[in-house]
Amino acid sequence: MATSDGPNGKAQPFSEQTLWMLAIRDRRDKSAFGKLFDHFAPRLKGFVIRSGAPAGQAEDIVQDVMMSVWRKAHMFDPERAQVSSWIYQIARNRQIDILRKEGRPMPEALKAEENDTEPDAGQVLALEQETDVLREALNRLNPDQREMIEKAYLGELSHSDIADATGLPLGTIKSRIRLGLDRLRHELKDLR
């Protein structure tokens, strides 16, 4: 199991979600997928209903998203995105496909090095910790603020309204992700 030394010298394992997703990615582990499904599918259903999907269609979308998670597992990279952010992105893409009848333009994929399947444990753990901080910050918001953040990430606000709405502390997680990107660029350069 992938671990890293924590601040008190004790080995700290990755979060359950990350371990499930790595088992799916590296071993096509169906029981891990079952656990991931049990955690995310009910939340996804709540999420897609709130973003305006008719109740009858919501479970179809949940099914599509979870199937994409299974099929695109090889693209999961815990050094740059947590499981929840990765699934969020897949869910938004699916809903935009349905809403606009065509996909949104997507950035070029990062070409991960194929001979390195072992993630950098320190980077993954640091990103997990930053994501926990973000989740806690979200839970501390008052109901009105929380409503605004939900609206923003459900795609209900225009960019000019978002300017005043966010206010989650994203600075640290941004720098952490940036470190992971720099590391990847470095490795890609060395591979050439």
Partner 1 sequence: MSEQISHHIPDALIAAYAAGSLSKAYSLVVATHVSMCDTCRATLLAHEAAGGAVLDSFAEEPLSGSLRAKVMDRLDDPIEVETVENTRDGIYPGPLAAALRAKKPKWKKLGGGVSQCIIDMDREGSARLLHIPAGKPVPEHSHGGLELTLVLQGGFSDETGHFDIGDVEVADGELEHIPTADPGEDCICLAATDAPLRFSGLVPRILQPFFAI
- Span near partner 1 by CB under 8 A; candidates 1-9, 113-121, 149-157: 149-157
Please give the single-letter amino acid code of residue 4: S
How big is the chain by its Cα radius of gyration, in Å? 18
Contact 35, 61 (CB under 8 A): no
Q: In which element (H, E) is residue 163 found? A: helix 159-165
> Smallest distance, Å, CB 70 to partner 1?
6
CA distance 48 to 50: 5
Query: Would you count residue 150 as binding partner 1 (CB under 8 A)?
Result: yes
59 binds partner 1 (CB under 8 A): yes
With CB under 8 A as the contact rule, which of the stretches 3-11, 47-55, 114-122 interacts with partner 1?
47-55
Among 21, 23, 66, 148, binds partner 1 (CB under 8 A): 66
> Considering only residues 89-108, where is the footprint of partner 1 by CB under 8 A?
89, 91-93, 95-96, 99-100, 103-108
* In the complex, least distance from residue 29 CB atom to partner 1, rounded to whole angstroms: 10
Within 8 A by CB and 6+ apart from 111, the residues are 188
Interface segment toward partner 1; rule CB under 8 A; list 2-10, 114-122, 150-158 = 150-158
Does 120 engage in binding with partner 1 (CB under 8 A)? no
Listed ranges 5-13, 114-122, 162-170: which one lies at the site for partner 1 (CB under 8 A): 162-170
Total residues contacting partner 1 by CB under 8 A comes to 77
b or e along 98-133 (b: 16 or more beta carbons within 10 Å of the residue's beta carbon)?
eeeeeeeeeeeeeebeeeeeebbbebbbbbbebbee
CA distance 92 to 75: 17
